[in-house]
């Protein structure tokens, strides 16, 4: 059933979904950069040790989202280069 859905989906629909995915990823990056700054400011105020866990969480979400953004970016650049040759 999933294979039929994937085959019936046009390239235009995939491109729309890709744009929506990128917008969501940029919101995730922005949100977790805000959390990272907030947690780093709290790192100097408190001495409980849990702040390092929060900072690590923020960095993990940012790095995963950025990896997906860069993957799509380079994939699209490769597609453009392949079409132009």
Residue with tokens 């001495």: 47
Report the pLDDT value the prediction gives residue 46, as an integer from 0 to 100: 65
10: DSSP letter:
-
pLDDT tens across the length of the chain (85 residues)? 555 665 676 777 777 888 888 889 999 999 999 998 988 887 777 666 777 888 889 999 999 999 999 998 898 888 888 888 7
Report the pLDDT value the prediction gives residue 5, as an integer from 0 to 100: 60
Work out the number of other CB atoms within 10 angstroms of the CB of residue 39: 20
pTM for this predicted structure: 0.71
């Amino acid at each position: 059933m999933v294979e039929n859905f994937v085959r019936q989906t046009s390239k235009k629909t995939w491109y729309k979904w890709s744009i929506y995915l990128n917008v969501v990823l940029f919101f995730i990056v922005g949100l977790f950069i805000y959390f990272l700054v907030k947690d780093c400011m709290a790192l100097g105020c408190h001495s409980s040790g849990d702040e390092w866990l929060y900072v690590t969480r923020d960095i993990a979400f940012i790095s995963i989202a950025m990896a997906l953004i860069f993957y799509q970016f380079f994939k699209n650049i490769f597609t453009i280069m392949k079409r132009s040759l």
